[in-house]
Amino acid sequence: MSNQEVVVLSVGGVRYVTRASTLQQFPESRLARMLNRDDWEFKLVNGEFFVDRDGALFSYILDFLRTLQVSLPTDFSDYQRLRREAEFYGLHPLADLLSQEHLLKPRLEILEVRFSLQEMQAFFRVFGSCSTTVEALAEQITVFTGQQSGQSWSSPFASQKTLVPIPLERPSHHDMVFQCGTEYSAGDQFVARYVSIKPDNRKLINGTNVLGLLFDTLLKDGFRLISARTVASEEKVECYSFERMKRPAGLTVTVNQTPGSTGVAQARRGQMQKGK
């Protein structure tokens, strides 16, 4: 059978269409042997290979053959059943990856925003359980500073005067600190700090407006607000907690064909590197 041919399978009554070359990724698997008609479990009926197995789980089997990667939905729970299906089809590298269930399960990610208002200034501290999320958020946030006259400091948006970006404070890889608003400088002048959060290009000086934009940014990134509380009433420090389910890095295998071999695929287990 040519590698370019289309193959139709009916797995538990669910119909799948793929290429022969996809099923031959692992030559010693039962799916590859099926194409040679030497496996009695697969019946050829009206041009379609029929097998009495779980039709829904086969979608993950086929996805693995196409991508050589295991990437499952966040609500997936049938790890043992899928591993059993992988063993049935003779896909031992997939079964091996599925045995690392702790690496495939989604993890809960927590992010906390502390916010306080003191006179004409607002202070923010963001802490996250995932350092890469905090790093990505820090790249979106820019603080600008500049001198403002006493007649213009109360404007919620930046004036036409030149503003200079300043770096955020990063006490650790898991948190960042920044502020907005104004503080008295000298005479009729104030030092003003504006905050911009990409992709929004506005420069905001009002702390409540910045908090709202930060909330909107987190919600669009898949977080949900789970609690809001006052942690220091004297200093008016409010704490907002967010959470989201973070999809784990996909586990992959690399298939190598060794010279002079009989076409047996050798698998090497690996994990796509992402931030912890």
Q: What is the pLDDT of residues 94-152, one digit of tens each?
A: 999 898 887 788 888 999 999 999 888 999 999 999 999 999 999 999 999 987 665 55
How far CA 87 is from CA of 50, 93, 95, in Å, comes to 18, 9, 6
Task: State residue 42's pLDDT score.
Answer: 87
Reported as a single tens digit per residue, the pLDDT across 25-68 is 999 999 999 988 777 788 888 889 999 999 999 999 999 999 99
Say yes or no to pLDDT of 167 above 50: yes
- Written as six digits, the tokens of 160 are 């036409």
| The pLDDT value given to residue 74 | 77
Instruction: Judge whether 70 and 251 are in contact, CB under 8 Å.
Output: yes
Tokens 């403002």 — which residue? Answer: 148
Q: Is the pLDDT of residue 258 over 80?
A: no
67 CB contacts (<8 Å, ≥6 apart)? Answer: none
pLDDT-derived band at 275 (thresholds 50, 70, 90) equals very low
CB of 149 within 8 A of CB of 189?
A: yes
Residues 6+ apart with CB under 8 A from 160: none
Helix/strand/coil for 104: helix
- Closest of 101, 102, 122, 100 to residue 113, by C-alpha: 122
The domain segmentation of the chain, as residue ranges, is 6-105, 110-151+160-244
Residue of 75, 70, 62 whose CA lies nearest to 31: 62
pLDDT above 70 for 271 = no
CB 244 within 8 A of CB 224: yes
Segment 191-236, tens digit of pLDDT: 899 999 999 989 999 999 999 999 999 999 999 999 999 987 676 8
Dist. CA 166–CA 171, nearest whole Å? 15
Q: Please, what is the Cα angle at 114 between 109 and 117, to 5 degrees?
A: 160
How much is the pTM?
Answer: 0.62
Residue 56 C-alpha from the chain's centroid = 24
On whether the CB atoms of residues 250 and 64 are closer than 8 A, the answer is no
Q: What's the token pair of residue 43?
A: 């019946």
Question: Which DSSP category does 204 fall into?
Answer: B
What single string gives the DSSP state of each residue in 142-154?
EEEEEEEETTTTT
> What is the number of helices (H) and of strands (E) in the chain?
8, 16
pLDDT at 209: 96
3-state DSSP call for residue 13?
A: coil
CATH superfamily of 6-105: Potassium Channel Kv1.1; Chain A (3.30.710.10)
Q: Which strands make up the sheet holding 43-45, listed edge to edge?
A: 14-19, 6-11, 48-51, 43-45
pLDDT mean over 254-276:
42
- Residue pair 175/133 in contact by the 8 Å Cβ criterion: no
